[in-house]
Amino acid sequence: MIVIEGIMRIPPARLEEARSVMEQMILASRAEPGCLDYAYSVDVLDPGLIRVSERWVSRDALAAHFKTAHMATWRSFFPQLGITDRSLRLYEAESEPI
């Protein structure tokens, strides 16, 4: 299993504007073959900090995700939403819970 974890920053004043775009990205990503989970969450202590969490069945599924139309649309909104400090890390993990 592939796990992606990371962060990005959105100015708190733009969170409401970003919410619908993020919801579309989450729903489309969760519907992809090979997506086990896809989520964004706002940090309780730092409202401009968005935590990113993804789980994919394989690197191939993740590679296909990067080629989707909804990924291109999501990235096109970065300047408008003021998204900065995007930092994601990929990990390989066991599929079964420990």
Residue 97 lies in a domain: no
Q: What's the Cα-to-Cα distance from 61 to each of 17, 41, 42, 55, 57, rounded to whole Å?
A: 29, 23, 26, 10, 7
Q: Which domain holds residue 8?
A: 2-92
pTM of the model: 0.91
pLDDT of residue 94: 87
Residue type (1 letter), 81 = L
Residue 98, pLDDT > 70, answer: no
Number of domains in the chain: 1
pLDDT of residue 75: 96
CATH code, 70: 3.30.70.100
Residue 57 lies in a domain: yes
Per-residue pLDDT averaged across 17-40, rounded? Answer: 97
pLDDT digits (tens, 9 = 90+) for 37-89: 999 999 999 999 999 999 999 999 999 999 999 999 999 999 999 999 999 99
